Amino acid sequence: MQDISRRKFLGLMGSAAVLAGLGVAGCGGSGSSSDSGSADAGAGDSGSSSLSGTIVCSGATSFQALVEDAANKFMDANPDVSISVTGGGSGQGLSDVKDGKAQIGRSDVFAEAKLEAADVEKLVDNQVAVVGMGPIVNSNVDVDDLSTEQLKGIFTGEITDWSEVGGTAGPIQVINRKPGSGTRATFEAAVLQGATVPDSWKPVAEEDSSGTVVEKVQQTEGSISYLAFSYYDDSKFKALSVDGVAPTAENVESGDFKIWAYEHCYTPADADEVTKAFIDYMLSDEVQGELVEKDGFIPVSGMKVQKDADGNISNK
Amino acid sequence: MAKTKEEYKDKKMMPKGQLESVGLGLTGACVAVVAIVVVALIFMVAQQGLTTFFADGIGFGSFITGQNWIPSDGRFGALPLIVGSFSVTLLSTLFTLPIALGSAIFVVEIQPGFGRKIFQPLVELLVGIPSVVYGLIGLTVVNAAMRSIFGAAAGTGAGILSGAIVLAVMILPTVTTLSIDALAAVPNAYREGSYALGCTRWQTVWHVVLKSAMPSLMTAVIMGMTRAFGETLAVQMVIGGVEKSMPAGLLDPAATLTTALTSGLSNATTGSVEYHALWSLGLILLAMSLFFILIIHLIGSKGAAKHD
Amino acid sequence: MTRDLDAHAAKIGKQDKIATGILTLIVGLVLALLAAIVVYILFQGLGKMLTPGFLTNSPLDDENPGISFELFDSFYMLLWTLLFSVPISLGAAIFLVEYAPENWVTAAAKTAIETLSSLPSIVVGMFGSLFFVVVCNFHVSILSGALALTMFNIPILVRTIQQALEDVPRSQRDASLAMGLTRWETTTKILLPAAMPAIVTGVVISAGRVFGEAAALIFTSGSAPARLNFASTNFGSPTNPWNIFRPAETMAVHIWKLRMEPSQGNDVIAWGCAAMLMICILLFNVLARVLGKALAKKMTAE
């Protein structure tokens, strides 16, 4: 390659560009063919007695473990069914189910937040669990309770020292999640209440996942972040109560603890039989009664309040 | 007898010619496959990446110069990411260059036996360590070191400096190996001439060897920078991932083009503006790697001209 | 005047000594760094790695999750990557060394390979996630992952094979051509056998790099442990380990994924996995050299 002159190289790039240009029309068409996707889930041949087929379930990682556990039990009972539970995040889950690349798309936000209204209409929202989330701090922080107002101040950069909220003086190290994260969307909706974060302020880290949040909060003195109840671990960090309400499943169910979200399993409106059967299983007592709580989530049936896609909370 | 020999030859001639074209065809097809895939890649990244500007109505200028990358607000300013990428790349090159060059001089000029047989294979082993493993080490060692050195100012310890340190270790073998090749390629006559004039070894290295190896050394550095610019997971694990605004200092958490891509792709839905904007970041990365190649060629042709 | 010269001689002599000292120090530092990295990884992970069951248990095991599926997937993905990339690279390298006419086709091919070599792996992964996964409709699968890795591996392999072929003495080539053998015969019968030790070494070393790659795989072969059933005989089933249309998770991706989940013990598993990965790559390096040497010896013996 060294022996090619610069002029020749530039010429090459030019011809590559021309080739690329010629390809535009052809490839535009092939790109859209993806929609036909992989809905060949093999459900057609499933009899009424024994189920068989393949389900791909991609999306949010926050309750992937719950779905994996349920899927394993379902597969034990139905040996001819294969459920492949993959990650990727809420956005990918919704894209995949919209594009037909997956039969189930997991999301921890309402599809309305990510997809066009026309696409949302083609999907069915199955709320398989509720997840509570709350603020957590490094174990050395001597504050146990923060008001919603104080949290708002901290996460918009107005309050920067622990002494301002009744703790020992020291900088507050805010560890946030990435803007696209469902956990962050839920937390901000409940805490910021419409307040905007100034451009000039930024956290000390924006993490991609709950795993790294736990690690960073554990290691960084004076740090604060937020996390789903299912990941709470007293040996690694301290969970705070909010407005005097402890972060417990009961308080979420009663509506006293405000930071929570649904875990959604979106399916296409024309889902195949095996997918429907698995969703029914997810909503059955076997999962809702045992697995959901075992994995740290809250059954939807126990909720005394409900939330709509716009975040309005009402009594059931 | 002569006739049969002719026949034999004739029989053999045809297959030979065919064999030759089969060989050419087979190997040519391999080359064609590679070329087609590369063209497809360039085309696809360009097609998706340019949609942002042509279909989604985001100005190229504001994309490149915008200082806030907040996709959830529909704000796509890639400057913080571009600045992040360049700062970790330049810093890591700065850290790694003296070490790589020093090692190369040692290997070529001082202890060739030890250097070639033991040192070089060991350094090349560093290339083999996966980037996620570098990330793990960075997360536990480098970030912790930052916190204990700089205290609260370092935040979680994640930031541009941490990223640059991890990258410096990762590109060290690339730059070292290529520098060794560059120095070894300097004709021995140059060195002998210098020694004959009474120069010491160091003078010879400094005034003669390094100077005549300069174009190849620059190529080595650019190759290292190419790797640093494109590195993803190791950087992502140690840089802090703050994309929203411009990094203000070396301890500031930041993000690079590659890290924003990795974390963004899992949250963006296909076909959305955010998805296209992420491809635009990919397009910038692609353009930068082509740019690095171009520089290498410029250096190469300049070096060649000098030798003539 | 003489005193000046003496002083100058002393000065440059001192300079020379200082420079040598500093250079030796740098090399010492690099070696110490290398040792520290390897020792640190092994220190953190070897204990877990040697725990009974870690290498043989399924990652879905409740009691003592292991990395058996990841281990299998890593090697299986590597196998397919090499199946794709070795023949293509071999062909491309032979073309460039033996046939390459001095025209724009050759120049374009060289530029294409060079472009590929400088592409960030995440861009290859991104392209793969659209082209292989969606356009070619291979889904998130071993096939898509192996093809993405092939793109990543081709430039490395082409370069090593090219070098190996060029290093075959000119006289062997000339002798063969002079005897009336065609280029193709010369290549397959003379050059390739002569270059084989170097090619094998290059392939195995490149395998080590492919083995540790994660960024290109996250969006092409997935980041979730597949549920594998080694007793399965249905090759179309996603639980069949040999099915190349199933998603897979390699060890490198597994480390990445474990960081994301705060479950108890994940950090220990990540380090155990890192140690295993590290040892595999060390073995690849040793194997490459041993194989290369053995082949070379066998050939000279003949």
CATH number of the domain encompassing residue A150: 3.40.190.10
Facing residue for B37 by CB, picked from C89, C111, C151: C151
Question: What amino acid occupies position C241?
Answer: P
- Mean pLDDT, residues C226-233 taken together: 74
Count of domains in chain A?
A: 2
Q: For C237-256, what is each residue's pLDDT tens digit?
A: 777 888 888 888 899 999 98
- Window 111-170 of C: residues touching B by CB (8 A cutoff) are 111-116, 118-124, 126-127, 129-131, 151, 154, 158
Answer yes or no: is A27 within a domain: yes
If we measure between CA atoms, which residue out of C124, C114, C109 comes closest to residue C210? Answer: C124
Q: Write the pLDDT tens digit of every residue in A68-113.
A: 889 988 988 888 888 888 777 788 889 889 988 889 999 988 998 8
Q: Which helix (H) or strand (E) segment is A199 a member of?
A: none
Lowest average pLDDT, out of A36-45, B179-188, C85-94, goes to A36-45
Report the alpha-carbon distance of residue A32 to residue C130 in Å, rounded.
Answer: 11
Judge: A209–C259 Cβ closer than 8 Å, yes or no. Answer: yes
**Mean local confidence (pLDDT), A133-140:** 94
- Partner-chain contact A38 C137, CB within 8 Å: yes
Determine, for residues A72 and C60 on separate chains, whether the beta-carbon distance falls below 8 Å: yes
Q: What share of residues in chain A are helix, strand, coil (percent, to 5)?
A: 40, 25, 35
Check if B26 contacts C (Cβ < 8 Å): yes
Distance (Å, whole) CA A165 – CA C102: 74
Q: Are residues A136 and A243 in the same domain?
A: yes
Contact: B268, A180; criterion CB under 8 Å: yes
What subunits touch chain B, counting only 3 or more CB pairs under 8 A?
A: A, C
Residues A106 and A58 placed together within one structural domain of the fold: yes
Which chain B residues have a beta carbon less than 8 Å from that of C154?
A: 34
Taking CB atoms and an 8 Å limit, are C227 and A12 in contact across chains? no
Of C60, C135, C261, nearest to A210 by CB-CB distance is C261
User: Which residues, at least 6 apart from C196, have a Cβ–Cβ distance to it below 8 Å?
Assistant: C295, C299
pLDDT confidence of residue A5: 44
Between B43, B46, B297, which is nearest A6 by CB?
Answer: B297
Percent of chain C with pLDDT over 90: 36
Chain B nearest C-alpha distance from A8 (Å): 11
Best of B8, B133, B176 to mutate (most C CBs within 10 Å, chain C): B133
The more confident residue out of C10 and A41 is: C10
| CB-CB neighbors (< 8 A) of A4 in chain B | 297
To the nearest whole angstrom, how far is the Cα of A231 from the nearest Cα of chain C?
7
Under an 8 A CB cutoff, do A1 and B297 touch? yes
Does A34 sit within 8 Å of C137, measured CB to CB?
yes
Residue C8 pLDDT greater than 90, yes or no? no
Residue B79 CB-density burial (10 A; 0-12 exposed, 13-18 middle, 19+ buried)? middle
The pLDDT value given to residue C243 = 84
A140 burial via Cβ count (<10 Å: 0-12, 13-18, 19+): middle
Same domain? For A39 and A116 the reply is: yes
pLDDT band at C226 (very low <50, low <70, confident <90, very high): low
CA dihedral A55, A60, A66, A69 (to 10 degrees): 40
Q: What is the pLDDT of residue A23?
A: 37
Helix axes C121-130, B214-230, angle to 10 degrees: 50
Mark whether A39 and A147 lie in a shared domain: no
Closest-CA distance, C3 to chain A, in angstroms, reads: 50
Report the alpha-carbon distance of residue A276 to residue A104 in Å, rounded: 10
More confident residue, A128 or A62: A128
Interface contact flag, C285 B200, Cβ < 8 Å: no
Residue for token pair 């050059």: C191
Same-domain pairing of A156 and A226: yes
Which structure tokens are listed for C186?
């010369």
Both A208 and A221 in a single domain? yes
* CA–CA distances in Å: residue C293 to residues C48, C167, C197, C200, C288: 34, 16, 7, 10, 9
Give residue C2's pLDDT band: very low, low, confident or very high (50, 70, 90).
low
pLDDT over 50 at C80, yes or no: yes
Determine contact: B56 vs chain A, CB below 8 A.
no
Please count the other Cβ atoms lying within 10 Å of the Cβ belonging to residue A13. 17
Q: How high is the mean pLDDT of chain C?
A: 87
| Mean pLDDT computed over C45-60 | 86
Count of positions (residues) in chain B: 308
Using CA atoms of A26, A29, A32, A34 in order, give the dihedral in degrees to the nearest 10: -60
Share of chain C above pLDDT 70, in %: 97
Same domain, yes or no, for A142 and A157? yes
Q: Is pLDDT of A12 > 80? A: no
Residue listed under structure tokens 């492949």: A84
Instruction: Determine contact, residues B257/B285, Cβ cutoff 8 Å.
Output: yes
Q: Within a domain: residue A10? A: no
* Residue A1 touches partner B, C-beta closer than 8 Å: yes
Higher per-residue confidence, C225 vs C228: C228
The reply to whether A1 falls in a domain is no
A152 in a structural domain: yes
pLDDT of residue A58: 86
Query: What residues form DSSP beta bridges with A112?
Result: none
Per-residue pLDDT at A18 exceeds 50: no
Query: Based on the domain organization, do A142 and A235 belong to the same domain?
Result: yes
Residues A228, A147: one domain? Answer: yes
User: Which of A254, A274, A306 is the last residue before a domain boundary?
Assistant: A254
Partner-chain residue, chosen from B22, B106, B282, that has the shortest CB–CB distance to C126: B282
- Domain boundaries, position A248: 132-254
Say if the Cβ atoms of A82 and C258 lie within 8 Å.
no
Phi and psi at residue C258, to the nearest 5°: -60, -30
For A49, list phi and psi in degrees, rounded to 5. -80, -55
Query: Are A44 and A108 part of one and the same domain?
Result: yes
Q: Does any domain span residue A6?
A: no
* Contacts with B, A 171-200, CB within 8 Å: 171, 173, 175, 178-181, 185, 199-200
Q: How many CB atoms lie within 10 A of CB B17?
A: 11
B47 touches chain A (CB under 8 A): yes
In 3D space, the residue among B118, B287, C211, B241 whose CA is nearest the CA of residue A202 turns out to be: B241
Whether B304 has its CB under 8 Å from any CB of chain A: the answer is yes
Q: Which residues of A touch C135 (CB under 8 A)?
A: 30-31, 33-34
Q: Using CB atoms within 10 A of its CB, is residue C46 exposed (0-12), middle (13-18) or buried (19+)?
A: middle
Q: Which of A18-27, B18-27, B86-95, C110-119 has the lowest mean pLDDT?
A: A18-27
**Strands A53-59 vs A81-88: parallel, antiparallel or unpaired:** parallel
B274 near C CB under 8 A: no
Residue among A174, A109, A167, A168 nearest A136 (CA): A174
Task: Give the Cβ contact number of residue A168 at 10 Å.
Answer: 12
- In the predicted model, residues of chain B with pLDDT beneath 70 are 1-15, 303-308
C135 at the A interface (CB within 8 A)? yes
Give the confidence band of C108 by pLDDT, cuts at 50, 70, 90.
Answer: confident
- Angstroms from B261 CA to nearest CA on chain C: 8
pLDDT beyond 50 at C219: yes
pLDDT for the residue numbered A13? 42
Other C-beta atoms lying within 10 Å of the C-beta of residue C66 = 22
pLDDT at residue C13, as a whole number: 84
Say which of B35, B102, B199 has its CB closest to residue C22. Answer: B102
Q: Quick one: pLDDT at residue B7?
A: 47
Beta bridge partners of C12: none
Question: Which tokens hold the place of A231?
Answer: 């990941």
Give the pTM.
Answer: 0.86
Q: Does residue A59 surpass a pLDDT of 80? A: yes
In 3-state terms, what secondary structure has residue A298?
strand
From CA A247, how far away is CA A190, in angstroms rounded? 14
pLDDT higher than 50, residue A208:
yes
Domain contains A188? yes
Q: How far apart (Å, rounded) are the C-alpha atoms in residues C27 and A158?
A: 50
Q: Sorting pLDDT into bands at 50, 70 and 90, what band is A32?
A: very low
Q: Which residues of B touch A160 (CB under 8 A)?
A: none
Average pLDDT over residues C136-157: 91
Q: By CA distance, what is C253's nearest residue in B?
A: B132
Alpha-carbon span A218 to A237, nearest angstrom: 6
Helix boundaries (H) for B106-155 = 112-114, 120-128, 131-137, 143-150
At residue B23, the pLDDT reads 83
Global ipTM: 0.89
Same domain, A248 and A140: yes
Residues of chain A contacting residue C60, judged by C-beta atoms under 8 Å apart: 68, 72
Among A87, A83, A96, A98, which residue's Cα sits nearest to residue A53? A83
The pLDDT of residue A40: 36
Same domain, A197 and A126: no
* Domains of chain C, CATH where assigned: 51-300 (1.10.3720.10)
A4 within domain boundaries: no
Residue A43 predicted with pLDDT over 70: no
Pairing of strands A238-239, A205-207: unpaired
Give C84-147 as a 3 state SS string: HHHHHHHHHHHHHHHHCCCCHHHHHHHHHHHHHHHCCHHHHHHHHHHHHHHHCCCCCCHHHHHH
Report chain B residues whose CB lies below 8 A from the CB of A98. 269-270
In a domain, A2, yes or no: no
